[in-house]
């Protein structure tokens, strides 16, 4: 993740106020050092104080191919020192309206006695002076920007900057992601059907169409040694219940190995899948034994969405890239006594965000699907959570988000992922407001409250973000 940082000032000030330039450069270096701690490669080009320097700065940042630019307002500066940079880079600009301290020490300031020194001291704190001017010019020239306002050392400021860097990193992940689509849609789920071109256009994602016959080829070539290693991985990751038949564990292990090879062959970062075909066909043996392997992939940063839900594979990838999980879910039931909504799914889970053990259990039937086999039973970690859906509306792709809590209580022990969620607006209002936005019936669930990060991601991708709660 590469971000640019340039400060702005006014060259007229430096000979007038001794030490002011060096002081402001020191503040900028503090910001750059903090950004490095956030995991970004920072291209700090120093302080721009004239239109001539602006042109050179723009050339350097363009050559560095930065993904995001932070503009530090060190003191009052002319907008003519900023516009050339923003126009040439054509990437998002975050204006840092950051003072050195929360407030000027008025008593000490007024005791300086020398109005020249007092003016220099004031100029070190007058970051806000340029902010309306920059906004005016950016508005009139069609340049997108956002603000971070506060003071050095304020945690909220650092958090806001980190959120922008995290969001830019996720935007880059999505832009470079290769999403595999395997099989076909679950027939009749009209809400799940996606426009692949719109998905590529919205996120920059490459869509790679992969075939069941390739999975079968890899599966047929699996060795006994590979199966033994995969079964060890099952036991290391899952609580494999004793009722799981050895034959089913071996069947799932073979399919998991084949999926790993397909993902590696196509360098996939995510996957959406579903298949039926004629009863008893060769691919049925594969598709009824994918859940364990797809869960392993999901927990290892290759999220897998069942029922060929491309939009939810995108949502899961976003959550995974933010480092908060992204478990495949749908609405199961409502508990009006406890005012909660239950969500889960019979498909792959994100084992890294489980509450307690992740169980591998047998299912005698996959409801609504052919066959039987092994499934994952788990609960999402108790505490704050965020729900995300990538929605294809009538005219646009947008992000739908809600924050809530995963709470303790009875769940359905049916061999699926299953959790109880409480929302600040209540279960009834949540269901109505969420559904009114027209998402598919799937969503991705991650741990923590990250709606603010998702809103920033939407800003960077030029996608609308709707927050329900």
Q: Which regions of 313-428 does DSSP assign to beta strands (E)?
A: 325-335, 340-345, 359-363, 373-377, 383-392, 397-407, 417-422
pLDDT at residue 281, rounded to an integer: 84
30 with 152, same domain: the answer is yes
187 with 154, same domain: the answer is no
Structure token digits, residue 309: 């839900």
Q: How far apart are CA 405 and CA 469, in angstroms?
A: 11
Q: Which of 110, 145, 174 is the last residue of a domain?
A: 174
| Phi, psi angle pair for 157, to nearest 5° | -65, -45
By C-alpha distance, which of 262, 172, 285, 288 is closest to 208?
262
pLDDT at residue 368, rounded to an integer: 63
126 with 169, same domain: the answer is yes
169 with 210, same domain: the answer is no
Q: How far apart are CA 421 and CA 406, in angstroms?
A: 5
Total structural domains in the chain?
2
170 with 108, same domain: the answer is yes
| Phi, psi angle pair for 303, to nearest 5° | -60, 140
169 with 196, same domain: the answer is no
Q: How far apart are CA 418 and CA 334, in angstroms?
A: 12
Structure token digits, residue 86: 């923003």
Q: Which of 144, 174, 204 is the last residue of a domain?
A: 174
Q: Which of 139, 174, 209 is the last residue of a domain?
A: 174
Rg (CA), the chain: 26
Q: How far apart are CA 65 and CA 60, in angstroms?
A: 9
CB atoms inside a 10 Å sphere around CB 216: 16
Contact between residue 432 and residue 398 where contact means Cβ atoms under 8 Å apart: no
Q: What is the CATH number of the domain that holds 279?
A: 3.20.14
146-181 residue pLDDT tens: 999 999 989 999 999 999 999 999 999 999 999 999
pLDDT at residue 367, rounded to an integer: 66
DSSP three-state, residue 3: strand
CA-to-CA dists, residue 7 to 98, 129, 231, 285, angstroms: 11, 14, 55, 61
169 with 200, same domain: the answer is no
- Cα 381 to chain centroid, rounded: 19
404 with 347, same domain: the answer is yes
307 with 227, same domain: the answer is yes
The parts of the chain modelled with pLDDT lower than 50 are: none
Q: How far apart are CA 269 and CA 120, in angstroms?
A: 53
What domain range is 145 assigned to?
A: 2-174
181 with 146, same domain: the answer is no
DSSP summary character for residue 354: B
Q: What is the CATH number of the domain that holds 144?
A: 3.40.50.10940
93-109 residue pLDDT tens: 999 999 999 999 988 98
290 with 413, same domain: the answer is yes
336 with 459, same domain: the answer is yes
């Amino acid at each position: 993740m590469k971000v640019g940082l340039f400060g702005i000032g006014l060259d007229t000030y430096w000979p007038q106020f001794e030490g002011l330039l060096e002081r402001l450069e020191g503040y900028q270096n503090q910001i750059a050092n903090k950004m490095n701690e956030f995991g970004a490669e920072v291209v700090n080009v120093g302080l721009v104080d004239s239109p001539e320097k602006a042109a050179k700065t723009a050339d350097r940042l363009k050559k560095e191919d930065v993904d995001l630019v932070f503009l530090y307002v060190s003191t009052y500066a002319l907008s003519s020192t900023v516009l050339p940079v923003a126009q040439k880079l054509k990437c998002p600009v975050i204006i840092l309206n950051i003072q050195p301290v929360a407030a000027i020490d008025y008593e000490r300031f007024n005791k300086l006695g020398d109005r020249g020194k007092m003016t220099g001291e004031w100029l070190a704190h007058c970051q806000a002076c340029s902010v309306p001017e920059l906004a005016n010019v950016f508005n009139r020239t069609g340049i997108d920007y956002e603000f971070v306002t506060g003071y050095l050392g304020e945690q909220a400021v650092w958090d806001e900057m980190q959120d922008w860097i995290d969001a830019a990193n996720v935007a880059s992940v999505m832009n470079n992601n290769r999403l595999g689509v395997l099989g076909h849609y679950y027939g009749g789920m009209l809400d799940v059907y996606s426009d692949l071109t719109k998905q590529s256009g919205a996120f920059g994602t490459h869509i790679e169409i992969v075939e069941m016959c390739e999975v079968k080829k890899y599966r047929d070539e699996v060795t006994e040694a590979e199966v033994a290693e995969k079964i060890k991985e099952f036991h290391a990751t899952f609580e494999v219940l004793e009722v799981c038949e050895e034959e089913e564990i071996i069947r799932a292990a073979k399919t998991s190995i084949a999926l790993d090879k397909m993902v590696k062959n196509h360098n996939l970062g995510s996957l959406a899948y579903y298949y039926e075909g004629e009863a008893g066909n060769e691919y049925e043996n594969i598709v009824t034994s994918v859940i364990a392997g797809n869960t392993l992939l999901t927990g290892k940063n290759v999220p897998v969405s069942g029922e060929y839900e491309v939009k939810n594979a995108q949502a899961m990838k976003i959550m995974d890239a933010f480092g908060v999980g992204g478990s495949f879910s749908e609405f199961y039931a409502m508990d009006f006594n406890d005012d909660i909504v239950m969500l889960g799914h019979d498909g792959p889970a994100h084992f890294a965000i489980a509450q307690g053990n992740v169980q591998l259990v047998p299912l005698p039937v996959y409801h609504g699907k052919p066959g039987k086999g092994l499934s994952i039973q788990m609960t999402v970690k108790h505490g704050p959570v965020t729900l995300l859906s990538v929605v294809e509306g009538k005219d646009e792709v947008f992000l739908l988000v809600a924050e809530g809590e995963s709470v303790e209580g009875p769940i359905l022990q049916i061999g699926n992922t299953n959790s109880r969620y409480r929302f600040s607006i209540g279960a009834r209002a949540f269901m109505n407001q969420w559904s009114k936005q027209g998402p598919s019936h799937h969503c991705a669930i991650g741990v923590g409250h990250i709606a603010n990060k998702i809103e920033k991601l939407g800003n960077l991708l030029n996608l609308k973000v709707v927050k329900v709660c």
